[in-house]
Structure 1
Amino acid sequence: MTRSIESRLIIVFGLLILILMFISSFFVIDRTRNYFYEDIQKKIEFMVSSSLLRILEDKNLTQEKIQDIVDKSMKQSQYGFMIQKLIVTDSRGRLLASFPRMDISFFPSDEILTSLAGYKVVKQDLENQTMVFAFPVKSGRIVERALYLEVSVQNILATVTDIKNILLMAYIVAMIFSLFIGFLFAKTLSNPLRKLTRQALEMAEGNLDVKIEISSQDEIGKLASAFKVMATNVKKYISELEFEKQKLERILQNMSDGVLAVNSKNEIIHINESAKKFLKDNVERFLEHVQGDKDWIDTQRIYEVDGWTLEISTAAFIDSYQGTGTIFILHDITQQAKLDRMRKQFVADVSHELRTPITTIKTYSETLLDVDDETVKREFLGVIIKECDRMTRLISDLLYLSRLDSGENILKVEEVNISELVRFVCEKMRIHAKKKNQKLICSTEENVVIEADRDRLEQVLINLINNAVVYVQEGGQIEVGLEKDEEHVRITVKDNGPGIPEDDLPRIFERFYRVDKARSRSLGGSGLGLSIADEIVKVHGGKILVESKEGVGTTFTVVLPVNRGV
């Protein structure tokens, strides 16, 4: 149950008054009671010390004399009416005199025994509404007698009760007036707030033209003024958002790429005409396909549906449920994919057709080398064998790529000390670098171990470092590095060579693609090395990144997973 601000203010106001009343009454009553008790104590001690104690110090007094002294003192003392009982005992606690006189057997109380030990006793007995006093009567340092008194405090308690009643009545009157004033104060605060609330609710329902009246210059007036400014700004922003929304919808609907957006509950919140054309009735199947695959986010994947080959780019956003939604951009690469498949098929066919005749040529050439003939003929046959080896490597590369394309598992997975492998390859390639006076620097972390195919990773590293050695000018520098974090291993091959043009960067991993075709052929390149390296790294669950700037150099980064099985 919700309470209004009025009721809360009145309750708080009332509680504060009650607390103040309780604290003040407690201190007033307690202080008054203590004052009366202290006053009685001073009066009794003055009466006793000024007369009785001095008289009773005479150890020669007889019991009858002591009784006469007690009776006389009680008649003459102005405080006698307060004393209910007075007892005088000897040093052994035996009764010598009393008021009123006691005819029954007497037993000394604890207070009398304490005073006979030489100590004064002052005690409040609230049960009997009395104050108890006990004084030692000394002769020198020796306690000769004890004086015991019981003083009535009924008048004190009655006075305290009257004070309580007076305070109670005063507090009740004060409480009523305080609550009435609190009610009026709450009204002055709540009335303008109620009015402002009604106007704010109208704004919430869409009526941004509501007139907000400002009748004061205090905090509530400032709040009303802020609401007025807010209503004006919100109206302006909504108009701008409507315009931007219409513009964005027109752009999305007329895009050649498909756009599909889903929220965190996998509900479609937007789909344009191109996406409908590509997916048709397969939207739900597409979402089921990507729903549990977190690797789709911020990556590019290929998706095939009803004859379309789509390149899917994704991005995450925060939706209205404060969850993570996903935007899918569907780019049509059907024709490109078709051409790519045709080229791959051609490579596989040509490889199988050429392997047998090339092997035959190599066999006859090796046989001719054993024939004792002219030196020129031997040199000629050696060139034939060299070219045959080159063509054999080309065919082997083509067949290897074909096997990768077919999805065949060609890896021999084992634990590989990647640090040792990088150093081994660097040492192997250092000889080639020295021929061009190049500086090959290798820096790695120690004992980085992953699960991979050692021979294939060696092939990748040799390809990347060899490319750097071949294309970097004489006297250049090549840096090979190895780093590891919790999830990935990164191998970098950085050079200060001529670099790769920006337009060529997206295509350097395509098969048979050469940046400088004439120079690549003269250096013996087939255009397959980077393609093979890229495919090998992908099969390992990694990727190759490249950064390059003409005239500055190129950096290849091989990213491999640490704990992901191949």
Structure 2
Amino acid sequence: MTKSIESRLIIVFGLLILIVMFISSFFIIDRVKNYFYEDMQKKIDFMVNSSLVQLLQDKDLKRSELQNIIDQTMKESQYGFMINKLIVTDSQGKVIASFPRLSISFFPSDEILNSLSGYKVIKQDGERQILIFSYPIKDGKVVQRALYLEVSSQNVPGTVRDIKNILLMAYLVSITFSLLIGLLFAKTLSNPLRKLTNQALKMADGNLDVNIDVNSRDEIGKLADAFAKMARNIKMYISELEFEKQKLERILQNMSDGVVAVNSKNEIIHINESAKKFLNGNIEDFINKMEQESHSDSDITIYTSGNLTLEVSRATFIDSYLNQGFIFIIHDITQQAKLDNMRKQFVANVSHELRTPITTIKTYSETLLDVDDEETKRHFLSVIIKECDRMTRLVSDLLYLSRLDSGENILNLEEVNLSELVRFVCEKLKIHAKKKNQTLSCSILQDVVAMVDRDKIEQVLINLVSNAITYVQEGGKINVVLQKEEDSIKIIVQDNGPGIPEEDLPRIFERFYRVDKARSRELGKSGLGLSIADEIVKAHGGRILVESKVGSGTTFTVVLPAKEVENLL
């Protein structure tokens, strides 16, 4: 059970007072007792030395005369009432006078013997409550007689007892007032401390706007001022920390990289929105995998979450349990991984596309060395030339794409009548459509003029229409439509061919991607035509849209901005 500072102060104050009173009482009573005994001794000494000894020194005095002197002295002396016994002996210890008169003739006490030897004796007998005095009575240097007195000291203990009672009453009154004063003092000391305690508890609960009302100039007042200053400083520091915390949280929440912090007990203490989006609810699986695969802060771990490829690095920190926690930094490298895969696939496709004609040229060239027939030689040389042309087209297309990727301005913008251009392309490719009994038609609702690169847009149209002619079955239909809308120009190439599978649609503009790889290679297609067309349209600020359904045909829509822009790149 805890005690308040008031009770402790009162107890300590009371104990100190009691100790002081006990010690002072002991010395006072002892001093009073000694005082009474010393007073009695002085009175008896005065009585004896002032008259009695002088009267008894006459050696010629007879016993009756000595007795009369004793009786007269006891009668006249103001201190006679104190004397219980008075004996005068000669030099042999025989009683020659006494009060009261004794029947004994000899009184050989130790005190008488010491006095007959010339010594004055004063002795206290506590049991009988008397003081014993023994005086030598000398004639010159010779002891003639001895005077023995027994003085009652019974009134001394009573007086001391009365003094004790008086002191006890005084002490009771004193200690009562002292305790009251101590209580008031304790309250004046504890009240400010109690206020400080209450304010400190409020501060501990987070209320730093406390008013510490302690009107004191002493150490407690200084302590209250220190508390007030501490509260102001803590409030200022907390405000700064809150600001920094909010700033840090805002930074973390708006980071494009994901951040996940876990403590030593695998409890998530922070996760930002990017991390939630990347992990898509698989946070526990992510943490378990990171624990298995990460061994040091320098480790980089690749983690796959759905369609995302994530690069994860980690750092350690000391958590609130004084153990090691981890911070995982998640970087989305999906696009980079995709580009890396595309780059690898691109290199592989280029290698494959070049290897086929090179192999064909090498084979036919080696065979030519052993062929004597002119017609066969001519056939082999035509195959070699055809493959060389194929390699040339492939390299030209690659160089053109490289120029587009580098951001080089390859457009020669001019005012072009797109209606005439579409008609020109259709007329130019109709001969190829007739070879497959296909119907190639143009639907031009109005003349449309735009700032474009004529050759590049012609290349796009030729690519789209020739692809339709190539892949649409014999007897199929191809329709090219030119129309102008409010803010755009649309060139639509529509066919009723076999269509493109839905899973292939997102990839048809990728380089070297073919829906029907075997047939495309037989037809001499490199897989770069749509990629080049898409890049050209993008360079004009437009886009190519595609809609297709297997068995229902395909529709390509070239969308160009209708505004005349001088610098489109």
TM-score in same-fold range (> 0.5): no
TM-score (ref. length: structure 2): 0.44
TM-score (ref. length: structure 1): 0.45
